Amino acid sequence: MDPIRIAIVGIGKIARDQHVPAIRGNSAFSLAATVSPHDAGLDGVPHHASLDDLLAQGPAVDAIALCTPPQVRYDLATQALTKGVHLFLEKPPGATLAEVEALKVQADKVGVSLFAAWHSRFAAGVAPARAWLAERKIEKVSIVWREDVRVWHPGQAWIWQPGGLGVFDPGINALSIVTHILPRPFFLKDATLVLPENRAAPIAADLSFRDTAGAAIHMDLDWRQTGPQSWDIVVDTDAGALKLAHGGAVLTLPSGTEHGEDVEYAGLYARFATLIRGGRSDVDTSPLRLVADAFLRGTRQTTQAFHD
């Protein structure tokens, strides 16, 4: 079977650090081209300054991974879908829920695969955590997701603009895990969003959720943490506590601790290949919906200006 010819649109840090190695490590794919108006691309790989140029001039591609900021993703996605190209959407899958729903409809009409890629769901501890929790009574959940924005998003102005999500850019990773591992749906009850006086998106947030059986879920997000970073989820159950640490890579159960390898993007591309070969899509918007609810219902507080 011939490999799936894929192009990466948007050659930033996440594309270079994660997408390129994952594609090159998966024999189901061949990296056919890259697209970016601001980057020279990769040695030995055809490069174009725009998606228009790629689609008009080639090389031919079967799939595209969109790694651009979410605010500009919809037009690029529709352009690719119009050409019958399978589509991988980096998280978040779009700047709004409505545009993602529109892409789902278009992908179905064209008959191509659309994949909203929540990479944290493929962390090593997530699948066994989901299986263990399926048979437990959930009592409460604590999520602490604190990191240093200067380390992970240096100089990325788009992330502070409307649609860039601010601290919810990493926070949505936690929500992608929790919506996947908890056995019941949950919804927002209250939120406080802390916005720097010179930014349009929050630098911190405190959120309270409740699942449909009444279990409390608390989430603490902050982008001002220095030193060790915190990406932890603790689920208290009737059988003891489950903890996911290091973004889901380390799972601790009452019976002990399991450490996993960094397999997130390898898992994403394995899933994308399966979807394409099977003629299916996977577009779960539940993490983005919870973020949208936080902006819809949250109380806003202003804090001092933030500068990189």
Q: Which two tokens stand for residue 80?
A: 């690719």
Largest CA distance in the chain: 60
91 catalytically annotated: yes
Contact 221, 145 (CB under 8 A): yes
Candidates 80, 102, 60; CA nearest to 10 is 80
CA angle in degrees (0–180, nearest 5) for 142-143-149: 155
Contact 179, 295 (CB under 8 A): no
- Pick the catalytic residue: 91, 104, 109, 140? 91
User: Distance from first CA to last CA of the chain, Å, rounded?
Assistant: 48
* Sheet order of strands, 86-89 included: 47-48, 29-35, 4-9, 63-66, 86-89, 114-116
C-alpha distances in angstroms, 134 versus 181, 183, 184?
8, 6, 9
Helices (H), the chain: 13-14, 20-24, 51-57, 73-82, 97-110, 126-133, 149-152, 168-181, 264-278, 286-297
Which H or E element spans position 217?
Answer: strand 216-222
C-alpha distances in angstroms, 21 versus 17, 27, 70, 107?
7, 12, 22, 27
Catalytic residues: 91
